[in-house]
Structure 1
Amino acid sequence: CGSGRDALAFRQAGFRVEAFDASPQMARQAALLLGQEVPVLCFEDVAWQERFDGIWACASLLHVAPADLPDVLRRLQRALRPGGVMFFNFKYGQGQRHSPDGRRFTDMDEAGVRALLDALPELSCLDMRTGEDDRAAELRERWIQVLVRRIPSSD
């Protein structure tokens, strides 16, 4: 959830919100902003089953290693109730890189997202688009944004 900014916006819009972050510092900051507990949790530890109607993973899955993304998306898929929706995005591109401070970034393009979703038949892609963020021109980056819905399994 990072700083908790988006979680707060969802709560102010009337949604019941649960948030978590892998960084203890970010979890503390979000807890202060939200006035609620924000656990320190990695995507690889998500074990919820059909708990959420929606998942907002804005600028967060991009920190997961490419090899771990299928398992992480499977975990998030299981956390959604059938019919639930999930938003996620990546900086546009291909491959993995590290920032000067050591943070990992996984970039994705349409083919990369399709390959991920092909392995997850319970996730139906509702929308996939690219665009630039609205920061100043010198900081602006291109993103791929994806909205999926969990469909019931056929078994």
Structure 2
Amino acid sequence: MPGKDTATLDFYAVEAGTYAGRTRKVRYGRLDAFAAALPAGGSVLELGCGGGQDSEALLARGFAVTPTDGSPELASQAARRLGRPVEVLLFEDLDETDAFDGIWANACLLHVPREALPAIIGKVQAALKPGGVFYASFKAGTAEGRDRFGRYYNYPSPDWLRGAYDADRWRKLDIDEDMGGGYDGEPTRWLHVFAFKMP
């Protein structure tokens, strides 16, 4: 399928328990900014929810959250944490229209093959209600590749990523970057994207 990398999904199938249960530094500054852009009690779709930590935080803030992940094994881990079903959803199977006030995609669309990313972002835009907010984060780079675990990453530059979003189709598109880490323990330059659908 165009938006799926089998080797990456295989990694999460094998490592789901370890990945979902790891201790990680949780910095909610961007989640707070995302929440502030939503109406009270608004509807949120989380793509690639992993172990469910961000969905848990959004639920605690009173939002109507639909957590999803492309890995059945990670979806099961998240369902245990959240005490509710978590849908197994591949990005390319998203097929909603004007359904969500916000879509949260933390460190997941970075696994979408470069050629498929613009179409996936288009599906996200269609699923947002007018004026809705979309957050996604990516490991920055200049060319697609794999990490030491064999996971695929699209490794975009800010300019490449702006083109994948088709900036003219959004009311506002902000990209900022910082240094952080990840499961591989390597210092990582991250790109953070906030996009707002036309009202």
Q: 1:45 aligns with which of 93, 99, 124?
A: 93
- 1:9-48 correspondence runs (5 A): 9-48=57-96
Q: Distance in 2 between matches of 1:32 and 1:64?
A: 26
Higher helix share: 2
Q: Distance in 1 between matches of 2:171 and 2:179?
A: 24
Contact between 1:2 and 1:26, CA under 8 Å: does it hold in 2?
A: yes
Is 1:116 the counterpart of 2:142? The answer is no
Q: 1:131 aligns with which of 178, 184, 192?
A: 178
Is 1:95 the counterpart of 2:159? The answer is no
Residue aligned with 1:121, SS: helix
Name the TM-score, length of structure 1 as normaliser: 0.89
Aligned to 1:104: 152
Aligned to 2:53: 5
The unaligned stretches of length 5 or more in structure 2 are 1-48
In the TM superposition, what whole-angstrom CA distance separates every residue of 1:64-96 from its partner, at most 9, and x where no partner exists? 000000110000000100000000111111221
Residue aligned with 1:27, SS: helix
In the TM superposition, what whole-angstrom CA distance separates every residue of 1:41-79 from its partner, at most 9, and x where no partner exists? 110000011111001101000010000001100000001
Tell me the matched-pair count. 149
Using the TM superposition, give the Cα deviation of residue 134 of structure 1 relative to its aligned residue in structure 2, in angstroms.
6.4
Residue aligned with 2:51, SS: coil
Is 1:151 the counterpart of 2:198? The answer is yes
Q: Distance in 2 between matches of 1:82 and 1:127?
A: 18
Change (3 A) 1:68 1:127: same
Q: Look up the equivalent residue of 1:88 and give its one-letter code.
A: A
Name the TM-score, length of structure 2 as normaliser: 0.70
Aligned to 1:63: 111
| Identity score, percent | 38
Aligned to 2:128: 80
Residue aligned with 1:3, SS: coil
Using the TM superposition, give the Cα deviation of residue 99 of structure 1 relative to its aligned residue in structure 2, in angstroms.
2.6
Q: Look up the equivalent residue of 2:131 and give its one-letter code.
A: G
Residue aligned with 2:141, SS: coil
Q: Look up the equivalent residue of 1:84 and give its one-letter code.
A: G
The unaligned stretches of length 5 or more in structure 1 are none
Aligned to 2:34: none
